[in-house]
Chain A
Amino acid sequence: MILVSAGRRLLWQEWDGHYLVFQPSSAETHVFNETTALILRCLEEGPLSIAEARAWTEVALDAAPGELGADEFDFATRRLEELGLIEYRDETIASQ
């Protein structure tokens, strides 16, 4: 299973540790915390496996490996999926 960015180009603004994201495909403005924003940021660069995305986020958060809880990561990615910002895809299908 891999994670991919679902959106077109997103617009970003960061203030005070809060991330505002404008999603052109829905014309919605979202507010994310740092963890959720970093997951979205890394997937904008390209598809990653769940493990890779989590490791990338931990590095970006300056957290130790395994420090970002699986529950927190899963909650954030599910929320991003609900908003239509990322998609879960089967790795073999995605590579075709």
Chain B
Amino acid sequence: MIIGDLSRQECQEILAGKGLGIQFGPFNLRIRSNLKSFAAVAYQLYEPYPLLTAAVISDFHVDMNSPPGLRRWLRPQACFAIDGHSPFAPYNLEHAFPALEWGINWCVATRAHHLLMLHSAVVERNGQAILFPAWPGHGKSTLCTALVHSGWRLLSDEFGLVRPEDGMLLPLPRLISLKNDSIDVIRHFRPEAIIGPSFQATRKGTVAHVRPPVDSIQRAQEPARPRCFVFPRWIAGAPFILEAMPKSQAFLMVATNAFNYEVLDEISFRLVIDMVNSCDCYSLRYSNLDEAMAGLDELSRSFDA
């Protein structure tokens, strides 16, 4: 079953009751919320994701509810909680949905230490995955969104999940969070993309969420082999430049940008060394998405050759 097999009313009731079980790649979540506005957005954007039965054990139990007391009526807020604890200050009620999405990322980043977690978007085509490790503001999510609406499969917009046993990349095809100008860029680039409402003046500016293509969600249990690292950087007006990067530099950028490199000790070192050894490494500068798509398509064809 998928979330869309429920009616909107059923979805809202389950969220407010025992919790909505959703499978995101290797993780099972149970989400509870008594906020009607939250339920409407969740139903729209989570519609193609697998629905878990109540019997399935969840990795994370998360809540997004109004805090008790007068706050509920004066300046309504929404509070994120995991396993009954609230790690963050309450959010403006209107920002409940992006706050939940950030909270789920936080759960993964702080708890999934059985995997090496690179801060990277990952897309795949013909069984070969490209990783896009990047710092915030470098255009990772915009580029990733454009690619997954141009024939590439989304593994993740945020987490390069590396399985230590074999170095394979596990998909985590969650919603893609776009910020500020990127939202309109994608609306113009791919008008058919399913983008949720824009949340204004959040802690990260204006935020909107892109629902990944259904194929990526349906193939969420299909790992991919890393083939290439591309370190993107969007620079206004810059020409498209894709050039080889020294492996030592690539290693440092991947390792220093990982969520849990230090936590996994020697395993991380070996995994990143193996990945960099087996992958081509490039730096990418771009300003035009069409040029970037064409250049990355050409790169992908060179893999096949």
User: Interface residues, chain A, CB within 8 Å of chain B?
Assistant: 11, 13, 15-16, 18, 20, 22, 24, 27, 29, 31
Contacts and interface: CB of A to CB of B under 8 A. Distances in A.
Interface stretch (B22-30, B173-181, B265-273): B265-273
Given A11-B269, A11-B270, A22-B269, A31 B248 contact: yes
Interface of B: 246-248, 251-252, 255, 262, 265-266, 269-270, 273, 276
Nearest to A19: B248
A24 B266 contact: yes
A20 B266 contact: no
A20 B276 CA distance: 13
A13 B265 CA distance: 16
Given A27-B262, A27-B265, A29-B255, A20 B270 contact: no
A16 B252 contact: no
A22 B248 contact: no
Contacts of A27: 262, 265-266
A31 B252 CA distance: 9
> Which of B252, B265, B273 is most buried by chain A, counting CB atoms within 10 A of its CB?
B273
A31 B265 CA distance: 16
A31 B266 CA distance: 15
Contacts, number: 30
The secondary-structure label for the interface of chain B is helix
B247 A22 contact: no
Contacts of B251: 13, 15, 20
A24 B251 CA distance: 18
Contacts of B273: 13, 20
A16 B269 contact: no
A20 B253 CA distance: 13
A22 to B, nearest CB: 4
Given A15-B251, A29-B255, A22 B246 contact: no
Contacts of A13: 251, 273
Given A29-B255, A31-B252, A16 B266 contact: no
B252 A22 contact: no
